[in-house]
Each structure stands twice: as C-alpha cells, then as structure tokens.
Structure 1
Amino acid sequence: MKGHSSRVPGKNIRPLAGKPCCYWIIAELLKADRIADISVETDDDGIEATVRADFPGIKILRRPDALKGDFVSMNPLIEHHMANSDAEVFLQTHSTNPLLRAETIDAAVEAYFEPGGHDSLFAVSAMHTRLYWPDGSPVNHNPKEMLPTQHLPPIYEENSCLYIFTRDSFAKNGHRVGDNPKLFPTPHLESVDIDEEHDFAYCEFLMERRLAEEAAAAGRS
C-alpha cells in the first residue's frame, strides 16, 4: 500500500462504508481458510498505524528508501517481500480490491493447485461485448453476423484482484505471471479495482448494499 496516490488521494485508508478501505480485504484474507500468513507492505506511517489499529497481529513490511516513489515497478517490491519471507507460494492482492470475498480467495488457491502444470494464476473478468481495434476492425466478432453478445467468445481482462505464484516461478520468469498461467474469473461484483474516483464511489455503493443485505439476513435468522 503506497501512501501517495495521484488519481485517488489517500485511497488505501480513506473511509469506505465506515471502515478504512484497506480494512475490507485484510478482513477477508483473515477469514480465508487457505491463507497461512498475511503481510502488509507499505511506505507510509499513516497506513501502518491504520492497519495496526484494526489488525495488531498483521505483519508490516516497510519499503526501503530505494523502493519508495511513484515510479517503482511491482517486481522489485515482490522481490523485497520474498527476501523477507520464508514462504514458497505467494498470493498477492490489493487494498483497492475491497469487494473480494474470502470464498473467492480460497477458490483461487484451490484452482491454482489443481492438476494442469500451471506455474501461476491471475484473476480476470470475462467480457462478453463487441470489441474493436483502433483501426475499426473487430477483435472478437463478425459485424456481419451480429450474434447476441452473450454468445460471443469471452475476452478476459486482467483485473488485478489477485495473483498466485511461487518463489521458483517468479525467479524463472521475473514476473508474477509465468509462462503457463491459469486464468481465474472472479465474480463481477467482487472485481472492481479502485483506480479512479468513480471506482471508489462504485465500490462504496456495492459495499453498503452488501452490508445492508447481510444485516437484513441476520435479522431474519
């Protein structure tokens, strides 16, 4: 969790549905059965204090000065994390995916370990829509046929919700996505990634609706 965000200032700890944004994904990771250890990596005192206030047992990994700033790529940060961990298999997610549920996290881990020789896994959103290249040529459909969009072959968008990889696969490929990755579609209502202000507003709307539904269900039980 980086302290500075130019597009959505303070997004990692900005209140979202009554809690800091980062609260929601950490809470789900703690509920997941297939997660053994959780670490929060940050360069910011305010983020560290916020995490410690709600989750005092979570490990905090601070970025060294060489890895601070807006232009540091993800790979050196992953390498830094690995150097400070004894784990062999890693799942990376983000505070900006607050809608991701523990059940989906567990399902992704289980999918990763299924037979098939995959060296990594990453979350995707399935898109059934008519797409075009910049020159106007179709990507995934024949304009002369005009099939209903639900019958089009899906195109998958990397949604940043989660990545699973091993220490060995990262060393071999130099990237969290290996040579033979498994694509893992996540539910649409869990797959919002907060990049812009409208994403934050949409996440908050969905989270408030989720909490209201859970409260209503609890009242009926």
Structure 2
Amino acid sequence: MTRTVAVVPMRHNSERVPGKNYRLLAGIPLYHHVVRTLNAVPEIDLVVIDTDSDFITSDCAEHFPTVKVLPRPEHLRDGAIAMNDVLLNTLDQVEADVVLQTHSTNPFLKTSTVSAALQRFNEPGRDFDSIFSVTRLQARLWDSKTQPVNHDPSVLLRTQDLPPLFIENSCFFIFTPQLLRERGTRIGPRPFMMEMAPLEAIDIDVEEDFLLAAAVAEGKGVAP
C-alpha cells in the first residue's frame, strides 16, 4: 500500500509576522487550522511537523497526539535555508511513498481540496510527476519597465477574456521522495497544477495577510 505523509515545516521565529505559526487566529493557534484539515484527510497516513519551536512541540503533543514532531537540527534553522534541504532532512527520518507538503500559514485550505489532489496523484497511469496548487490570475500585467506582459494595450480585452496566468500559491505540493532526492525540487518536469479559489488560498506572509485572514475567519464563522 502507498504510504502518504503530510509534512508541515514550522519555525518558531518569523521575520515579517512575529510568532505567526502559533499566533491566535479565530481563537486557536494558527497552525491548528491546517493540522485539523490534514488530520481529516483519509488519504493521509501520517502528519509530520518539523520545527525548532518548544512551544509548538509541547502544544502539539497536547492537542494532536497522533502528529509526529521532528526537532529541526541547528544547521537547518536559519530562515535563509532552502525548504528542500529541510524536507530532505525530514524524509530521511520518515518512511513515505507520497509526500504532501503544506504550511501552517494556509488556514483556509479545505480537506476536500487536499483529498482530491491526493486522489488525482494516485490515479493509475498518471502522466505527471508532481502536483502544486495555483490560483488563477486574469488581469493586465506590466513589468518593471512598464511593458505589458500578457496583453496588448491597443486591444482592450475584458480581463475575463485574457489568457489566464497561474500563481504558485504554496498551499501544497505533492511529490515523491525519489523526485526530491534525484532532482532537488518538489515540482518535477511534468507537473500538474491544481487550481484553488482565492479565499481558500490565502497565505499569511505579512502582517496585512494576517489581518485579512482574521477578517475572513470572522466572516466565515470559523471557530475553535
């Protein structure tokens, strides 16, 4: 049987939003939201948190006893360390055939979305080697030199008629340990893009994102 492991890396310190991983959102630490989601996905066999945080380690043991917590070694704790290096360290300690990596900063990620993505990845005879989540963007884009990127200003198409572009929203990546070890990347040469709605894909990266997430959580009636 295929063993599917969900990995959620979390640092104790955050440069742009201090303490964001355990800051309260809708009355509970931020990371609780994504862990609850992952625990409810039937295709996931094990949820793993990689962290250097004593708080997250103890809080997780109290609230999510089935989640495996791995202490992040000192040489991988700097914020400039590549995420792929962190993941390789995690997968050296956990047996997995399929890996889903997400972040604690995606509190509105749905169980149904994760489940559908994993089912798609496990389809027999699939012609892709990885999946990553994206958000559709249909807008008139310009580069830093005021050159149009995806449209002709002399042909004023409606934005909904523009060819769509897709933002890698970092909500999740699905791949095999073999792909990561051989190519050093979560996204292989033949990936599949899983589109998500913008609200579900909210990612908390700066303080304004946290304020937006709090407003959305209040409006959606998200409760502990």
TM-score with structure 2 setting the length: 0.91
State the Cα distance separating 1:98 from its structure 2 match: 0.6
Query: Is residue 170 of structure 2 the alignment partner of residue 166 of structure 1?
Result: no
Query: Is residue 200 of structure 2 the alignment partner of residue 190 of structure 1?
Result: yes
Question: C-alpha separation between the residues in 2 aligned to 1:13 and 1:124?
Answer: 25
Cα deviation per residue 1:46-95 (whole Å; 9 max; x = unaligned)? Answer: 11122222212211011111111222111110111110111111000010
Corresponding residue of 1:118: 128
Query: Is residue 153 of structure 2 the alignment partner of residue 153 of structure 1?
Result: no
Q: Which has the higher helix share?
A: 1
3-state DSSP class of the match of 2:212?
helix
- Higher RCO, 1 vs 2 (CA within 8 Å, ≥6 residues apart): 2
Question: C-alpha separation between the residues in 1 aligned to 2:107 and 2:53?
Answer: 19
Corresponding residue to 1:106 among 115, 122, 127? 115
Corresponding residue to 1:2 among 7, 11, 20? 11
Q: Which has the higher strand share?
A: 2
Corresponding residue of 2:221: 211
Cα deviation per residue 1:10-29 (whole Å; 9 max; x = unaligned)? Answer: 00000001110000000011
Structure 1 unaligned residues grouped into runs of 5+: 215-221
Query: Is residue 172 of structure 2 the alignment partner of residue 142 of structure 1?
Result: no
State the Cα distance separating 1:116 from its structure 2 match: 4.0
Cα deviation per residue 1:115-145 (whole Å; 9 max; x = unaligned)? Answer: 4421111111110101112222211111111
Structure 2 unaligned residues grouped into runs of 5+: 1-9
Question: C-alpha separation between the residues in 1 aligned to 2:219 and 2:59?
Answer: 24
Write the letter of the residue equivalent to 2:151: H
CA RMSD of aligned residues (A): 1.4
TM-score with structure 1 setting the length: 0.92
3-state DSSP class of the match of 1:132?
coil
Question: C-alpha separation between the residues in 2 aligned to 1:83 and 1:48?
Answer: 20
Question: C-alpha separation between the residues in 1 aligned to 2:187 and 2:134?
Answer: 12
Corresponding residue to 2:33 among 2, 24, 28? 24
The change in CA–CA distance for 1:144 and 1:185 in structure 2 (over 3 A counts) is same
Runs of 4+ residues deviating >6 angstroms: none
Query: Is residue 80 of structure 2 the alignment partner of residue 71 of structure 1?
Result: yes
